[in-house]
Amino acid sequence: MMDKKNLHDEAEEIREETAADAPEVAEHDRVAELEKLLEEASAKALYAHAETQNVRRRLEAEKQQASAYAATGFARDMLAVRDHLARALDHVPESALADEKIKGFVDGIESTLRELDAAFTRNGVTRIEAIGQPLDPHKHQAMIELATNEAEPGTIVEEMQTGYMLKDRLLRPALVGVAKAG
């Protein structure tokens, strides 16, 4: 019976010690919980800040691209005008150039074409080299294969329509004929 009483007394002492320590344990748990919440809030704030920075950078890049390539539609339309002027010059017979009136008219078309080309150059529109180049599907559109022994297969031997780039973007592919083994 004595052992039971001693065990009971010991258990009571442990309970009293635990009860006395309980406010500290509860306070320690609360502090740990608050620190965890603070850490989570800091992480969320950092994530939100990083996301805001990413959105800002992305919008700035989109704004720069929009201003750099704003004239794309207009440039494409002007390419059609350039094509018509070049075709008009190509169809003027040599005999007609003897007439001063026609020669003046042709000179005006040539001058207009030069000025249009200069405007393209000032605005970053450049001609794509095609003849003699290997076919590049990012710049050239093959329209026909021509059997020839004069060029390596896959080399451009004919240009049906000139291609153009606007800065580093394709404005219009060059329509080309490509060599194949003869």
pLDDT digits (tens, 9 = 90+) for 43-73: 999 999 999 999 999 999 999 888 878 888 8
User: Which sequence spans correspond to the domains of the chain?
Assistant: 1-68, 71-123, 125-182
Handedness of CA 19, 23, 25, 30 (dihedral sign): positive
According to CATH, the superfamily of the domain at 125-182 is Head domain of nucleotide exchange factor GrpE (2.30.22.10)
If you search the block for the tokens 């026609």, which residue do you land on?
A: 102
pLDDT at residue number 1: 47
Q: pTM of whole model > 0.85? A: no
Provide the mean pLDDT of the chain: 87
DSSP for 121-161, please give it: HHTTEEEPP-TTSBP-TTTEEEEEEEEESSS-TTBEEEEEE
pLDDT digits (tens, 9 = 90+) for 85-144: 999 999 999 888 888 888 999 999 999 999 999 999 999 999 999 999 999 999 999 999
| Distance, CA of 76 to CA of 73 (rounded, Å) | 5
If you search the block for the tokens 């240009």, which residue do you land on?
A: 159
pLDDT digits (tens, 9 = 90+) for 5-34: 666 676 666 666 655 555 566 777 888 899
Residue 156 in contact with residue 178, Cβ under 8 Å?
yes
Contacts of 96 (CB under 8 A, 6+ apart): 102, 106
Q: Please name the amino acid found at residue 68.
A: A
pLDDT at residue number 25: 60
**Closest to 157 (Cα-Cα) out of 169, 140, 137, 173:** 140
